[in-house]
Amino acid sequence: MHSRADDGRPEELSSLELAVMSLVWELGECASSDVVQAFRERVRPLAPTTIRTVLSHIEKKGYLERVPSVDRTLRYRPVVTRDKVARRSLRRLVETLFQGKATSAVSSLIGDEPLDAEDIEEIRTLLDRNDAARKRSPSGKKRSRS
């Protein structure tokens, strides 16, 4: 049984769980030993039992699933995409730190460093898409992103 928040979504990941999950997204389907090794090389050395416990917690939260294997190796694959977790985390940050105002969050992000021409063009493309989608919606208002 997966652990779920009140809204039916998987519980949030802790910072350690997110670091481990990031490696699983990079590795794809992988053995717990692969994650232990990657964590040691890329993040910091932690006891293998700690990493395996974290993997178990992430599985219980519904972000990973075990993959059957012929040997005794514990294998996992991601169930939730990095993009989905990133979007949900960003929405939570905007709600919490910017009173739900995306414009304040964007202003904070782009105010800290100059953008190059490529970044500006990409942002313009995203805004144009958003504007077109808004014009297509019946009410002309923001659509819910559940």
CATH number at 7 reads: 1.10.10.10
The Cα-based distances of 107 to 98, 114, 125, 128 in angstroms read 10, 12, 17, 18
Number of independent structural domains in the chain: 2
Residue 145 lies in a domain: no
Residues 112, 87 within the same domain: no
Residues 74, 133 within the same domain: no
pLDDT tier at 112, thresholds 50, 70, 90: confident
pLDDT digits (tens, 9 = 90+) for 80-107: 999 999 999 999 999 999 999 999 998 8
- Is residue 145 scored above 80 in pLDDT? no
Residues 75, 20 within the same domain: yes
Q: Which domain holds residue 131?
A: 102-140
Cα angle 39, 21, 12 (rounded to 5 degrees) comes to 135
Residue 10's DSSP bridge partners are 4
| Ramachandran class of 50: left when φ > 0, alpha when ψ lies in -120 to 50, beta otherwise | alpha
